[in-house]
Amino acid sequence: MSTDKATVAEFLEQLEPLDVRARAMFGEYGLYCDDKLVALIADDQLLVKPSAAAADYAEESWLVPPYPGAKPYFRIPESKLAESAWLREFVQRTADVLPARVPKSRKSSAKPQ
């Protein structure tokens, strides 16, 4: 099952005014805050990446893999999704503790001699 685009739009709207965007990935979506991958949107559910910030916001019982074989993420329960201020704070704090994205180096087009 894939995520409905309307669900993605709802999550983005709920997270305003944070610097967030969603990017289609493998039939689902990655959620970026401050250009850092902080969450996944899969099967119309929001799953936040585990980080040092999670201890203040999430419960261990929320940890589930977004798809078979994946590392677990914190699936946000419906009851917490309604708390916009809490959700914005959790997403922003997660972005704050994640390392900055390292740009990939471009390979030289020159062939070795």
Q: What is the domain partition of the chain in residue ranges?
A: 5-95
Integer Cα distance of 86 and 5 in angstroms: 23
Task: Give the mean model confidence (pLDDT) for residues 14-33.
Answer: 95
Evaluate if residue 75 carries a pLDDT over 70: yes
Geometric angle at alpha carbon 9, from 68 and 72, rounded to 5°: 20
Q: How far apart are CA 37 and CA 20, in angstroms?
A: 10
> For position 110, what pLDDT does the model report?
55
pLDDT of residue 65: 95
Q: Right CATH number for 5-95 from 3.30.1460.30, 3.40.50.12160, 3.30.950.10, 3.40.50.1370?
A: 3.30.1460.30
Distance separating alpha carbons of residues 106 and 63, to the nearest angstrom: 36
For residue 58, name the pLDDT band (cuts at 50, 70, 90): very high
The pLDDT, as a whole number, for residue 101 is 78
Q: How many CB atoms lie within 10 A of CB 89?
A: 15
Q: Are 73 and 48 in contact (CB under 8 A)?
A: yes
Q: What is the pTM of this model?
A: 0.86
